[in-house]
Chains A and B, each alone.
Chain A
Amino acid sequence: MANSDATTLHKPLGLLAELTHRCPLGCPYCSNPLALDKRADELDTATWMRVFKEAAGLGVLQVHLSGGEPGARRDLVEIASGARDAGLYTNLITSGVGITTRTMRDLWEAGLDHVQVSIQDADAVSADHIAGYKGGFQRKHALAAEAVRLGLMLTVNLVVHRANIERIGAMVDLALALKASRIEIAHVQYYGWALKNRAALMPTREQVERAAAEVEELRLRHKGKIVIDAVVPDYHARFPKPCVGGWGRRSLNVTPSGKVLPCHAAESIPDLEFWNVRDHSLEDIWTSSPAFNAFRGTAFLPEPCASCDRREIDFGGCRCQAFLLTGDARATDPVCHLSPNHGLVAELAEVQEDLAYAYRR
């Protein structure tokens, strides 16, 4: 297998539209950056409409309306409608707090295709503690129920970490009770606020192993009834995750203020030059912006990746993680057991401290 050439330009399939960084919840595992965009800097409705049209023209098929909490935008229905009119499959990723049943109905009428609601825990007190928001647990139920009543397909997203990892089974039961069609069980990935809270969130190896067995068992038990997709816990894996399906290859991310990133964490790599939709077309950015071309293909990868059979599968792992843990964004993601720095990840995976959460505010 040859190293993929950086000049081979693929068409993106997905766009993550971070409509705002505002959010009523304060989840300590949030992957948003520590420096959040301000409301005054957010893109206006018309610009989002243009971005969606340009995205569809570029080949994008699905848009994920996310944040922050997208419900914090008063023009959310208009934005969703614009995405749908551009021909995009439109998915709303919400905390469930901040969207009224009325807005949910308007979104459905606007042609929204799918809703994803996150839940923090099966236990209400713990869930509200994790989210740093009293009463959030109940409000999510109401929103999920309304979405299902309207006939929208619901995915429930469970973010797993030390405080709730023992209750995965109960969380799956809760998702079933909410009539979800799909469950995403996602172990925390350590970027942004999650990185800041790493020692407070990190499960033990025994917990991770028990959880993996439990998820397999749940999949078998609910086969045919519900789809369970699982995101493996990075720091406990043998191989790294495939950097958003390849840097600048399948997806792009627009921040609330209009910067276009190859992935939501890309701003953690210093010295990358991101272009803004206020100044450039999406096509121009996808094709020519320095940030998108920085790690395209696999030719830049050092050993052990350069001669590895998996280099076109996982692209050497996550560039952001490589930088965050080794200081070199071109290095092999140290999650990989073949990385010379893998020992560091193994060490960090053993650090559990019962610290108070630094809530995302």
Chain B
Amino acid sequence: MSYNVLCSFERFRGRERDDRARCAPAAAARLTHNEAQGGWVLLAPERIFKADAIATEILKRCTGEATFAAIVDDLAKTFNAPRDLVLADVSKLLAGLVEKKLLEL
């Protein structure tokens, strides 16, 4: 058994983005809550991504229904945050998780 805990998404910056894309956990991945680990975790075989507060808010909206643009709008509104900043956070997180096959577009 070996676990790759994912933490760095820097290298995925600048990937092409599609505002209409819908994002959901990959076929074998699941978002789950664990009290002892202190929150929400995205799980796939041999891979674990512990979501911080921001990542949790993003991942909870990745249900395959809302589009990328709608998720960004919703987060910006809910947290009264600049859309550009939210967009950067969401892009960075999703690109990294897609690359690691934890999410699917």
A residues near B (Cβ < 8 Å) are 11, 13-14, 16, 56-59, 61-62, 64, 87, 89, 91, 113-114, 116, 151-153, 155, 181-182, 227, 229, 231, 244-245, 250-251
Among the 9-residue stretches B9-17, B43-51, B68-76, the one with 4 or more Cβ atoms under 8 Å from chain A is B43-51
Among the 9-residue stretches B34-42, B59-67, B83-91, the one with 4 or more Cβ atoms under 8 Å from chain A is B34-42
Chain B residues with CB below 8 A from A251, complex form: 1
Given A113-B28, A113-B30, A229-B46, A57 and B1 contact (CB-CB distance below 8 Å): no
Given A13-B3, A64-B1, A89-B30, A155 and B36 contact (CB-CB distance below 8 Å): no
Contact sample, A vs B, 29 pairs, CB 8 Å cutoff? A11-B37, A13-B3, A13-B48, A14-B1, A56-B34, A57-B35, A57-B36, A58-B36, A59-B34, A61-B32, A61-B41, A61-B43, A61-B48, A62-B43, A64-B1, A87-B32, A89-B30, A89-B44, A113-B28, A114-B28, A151-B27, A181-B27, A181-B28, A182-B45, A227-B101, A229-B46, A244-B1, A250-B3, A251-B1
- Whether, in the assembled complex, B33 has its beta carbon less than 8 Å from a beta carbon of chain A, the answer is yes
B36 close to A89 (CB less than 8 A): no
Chain A residues with CB below 8 A from B1, complex form: 14, 16, 64, 244, 251
B residues near A (Cβ < 8 Å) are 1-3, 26-28, 30, 32-37, 41, 43-46, 48, 101
B48 close to A62 (CB less than 8 A): yes
A116 close to B36 (CB less than 8 A): no
Chain B residues with CB below 8 A from A151, complex form: 27
Given A152-B28, A245-B3, A251-B1, A11 and B48 contact (CB-CB distance below 8 Å): no
**16 additional contacts, CB 8 Å, given A113-B28, A153-B28, A245-B3?**
A13-B48, A16-B1, A59-B34, A61-B32, A64-B1, A87-B32, A89-B32, A89-B43, A113-B45, A114-B44, A114-B45, A151-B27, A152-B28, A155-B45, A244-B1, A251-B1
A10 shortest CB reach to chain B, Å: 11
